[in-house]
Structure 1
Amino acid sequence: MTDAASRPLLTVLIPALNEAESIETVVREARDVITASIPQSRFIIIDDGSTDGTAEALGGLMAEDDRIRLIQHPKRSGKSAALRTGMIAARSLWVATMDGDGQDDPRSILDMVAEIDLTTVGDRALVAGWRQNRTDGNSRKFASRFANHLRRSLLNDACPDTACGLKLVVRDLFLAMPFFDALHRYIPAFTRHLGFSYVSVPVVNRARAAGESKYTNLGRAMAGFFDLMGVVWLMRRTHVPAAQLLLGRSADEV
């Protein structure tokens, strides 16, 4: 059995795909910022089948700090799969997520942590980031606004920015959600559906320093429509909020 005293208070998951140019800087900044306030933090980077040396770029940093761990997918499996891999490996009650491209400011995670108690699970089981100054192009902003409006009208999740990579969620709640390739876009909706509440917190969105986006507007729109219809069906077929058993659980019980 794992010694509770050695269990991290927070785990930060960072999915990455072909981010060799920036990943070392991203992880180093996250480590420095977050451990300054939460020393008992750990960091798991999930390399989702990169072909550019992303894993190798982290070699030096991992050698100097055993709080940083790398897990590699043999082939690209998608962001939701990367998050699920990280959640299974995490040992903390709460888990934070951020993207590996440098656009998410890790200082925003500390603002999100201020909204909950890392040692227990209450009614609020998710803190979702809300990008106030999106640096994406106008076409992507328009597509996101349209998708958010359609999703909110069908799912009633009231989330202003469900695709933001910055989230703070109870680990076992995420693992209780039905898994599919686009789950990361519906975490707020399933949080509500399983009987918990969440809050959206303004976060900083920065310009990408290197690399390129892994998504196109057309590809995202086509996949997103079918995903949304699937989520509507899943929610209509899920009637027992078993995840409510997590209420009142403490970090010592993980």
Structure 2
Amino acid sequence: MGHMATEIVAFLLSVSGWILVSSTLPMDHWKVSSVDGTVITTATFWSNLWKTCVTDSTGVSNCKEFPSMLALDAYIQLCRGLMIASVCLGFLGCSLALVGMKCTRIGGSEPTKARLTALAGLHFVLCGLCCITACSIYAHRITTDFFDPLFIAQKFELGGALFIGWAGSVLCVLGGLVFCLSLSEGFTVRTEYTYGRRASFATARPVDSRVLHAETQRAQRDSTRRFERNAYV
């Protein structure tokens, strides 16, 4: 029961993290910059992995999508690839976890379900690492440009999408590690059960009647010899 509860906790952590990671990919505010003036001229500039936009004080947004994937900066292309890989790995992890958990009736025997659980944990850990790497690369570029005194273009700050991505990554990594921990506990329990079953089998093993008869005759001969040796004393 404890092993099943551990798997359920790991599944909830991993799925929650994967949902946050998946919502980070299309989210708007990866980086934000505000221009404050009068109420009429106040505007907010923001960008994500797919487009750059400006929103005025009335809430009207004017967006421009990136024209060409090959013309993008290398860090945006890298972040796109890592985030897409993270979402795919998380989906595979969820599928393997549903099949391999002990509370489900699919997946085959216990060793097979244990292997599927281990693969699910590995996929969730890789999902979290890919997302946290993408968010960190994007954040590093923002902070580098912001603190560079020679950078004369518009400077941006960290957007809310990056923090959501980091939180989802941590949950995915924690869930994957808990899956691996539950796998080691399951192997320990199975090993102890197998050892106890073998010991009980050895204790309850029936004794061969011919072996028992031979041992009885040998004991009788030994007692007779001792009696004959002590008769003349």
Under TM normalisation by the shorter chain, which class is it?
A: under 0.3
With the length of structure 2 as denominator, give the TM-score of the two structures: 0.25
With the length of structure 1 as denominator, give the TM-score of the two structures: 0.23
More strand by share: 1
More helix by share: 2
Task: Give the greater-gyration-radius structure (CA).
Answer: 2
